[in-house]
Amino acid sequence: MSTTVPGTGVEAEADRAPRSARIFVAVLFVLLLVPGLIGFDAWPLTGWRLFSLSRTHSQTRWVIEAVDGGGDPQVVSLEELPLGDRHAEWPMADLPGASEARRDAVCRALLAEVLRIEPATLELVIGRDHARLVEEGGHWRTIHDVEPFHSCRVAGS
């Protein structure tokens, strides 16, 4: 489709994207919008839940604690684990409805990785950390209350 440029008598092509590009953009828009409106996550198309959840002064999340010979628990950051285990919070979130064998399998897999970074570990505890923000003297601090859910010990300890 061409149009005449006013005052020149020269014909120019219309500034329009090709039909295939317009269709692609329309389909992509629908793929991004529909999951957000319906309320399901179809990753990688959406991450609505990441941005739409309200954040309050208290948060609950899954954590792992390494317990040494003295019985002192220490929360292990999932970021310290190898890349494949850094999202371990997702399988841990499925544990409440899982069988005892599944719980133990997840615990033992995490224990093997924790032993590489914390070799003095004798027991691994999977728990729910009920963290809350508290203001004290004009400063905010986080108070952690870990509720143990499942544990596994190093063989022979």
Mean pLDDT across 27-33: 85
Query: Residue 74: beta bridge partners?
Result: 66
Mean pLDDT across 22-38: 84
Q: Where are the domains of the chain?
A: 2-51, 56-153
pTM above 0.85, yes or no: no
**Euclidean distance between CA atoms 76 and 81, whole angstroms:** 9
User: Which three-class secondary structure string do you get for 74-106?
Assistant: EEECHHHCCHHHCCCHHHHHCHHHCCHHHHHHH
Whether the per-residue pLDDT at 83 is higher than 70: the answer is yes
**Euclidean distance between CA atoms 62 and 6, whole angstroms:** 67
- Of the chain, the percentage scoring pLDDT greater than 70 comes to 79
Q: Are strands 73-76 and 58-67 parallel, antiparallel or unpaired?
A: antiparallel
CA–chain centroid gap for 105, Å, is 21
- pLDDT classification of 51: cutoffs 50, 70, 90: low
- Report the mean per-residue pLDDT for the chain: 84
Residues in the chain: 157
**Euclidean distance between CA atoms 56 and 60, whole angstroms:** 10
- Of the chain, the percentage scoring pLDDT greater than 90 comes to 43
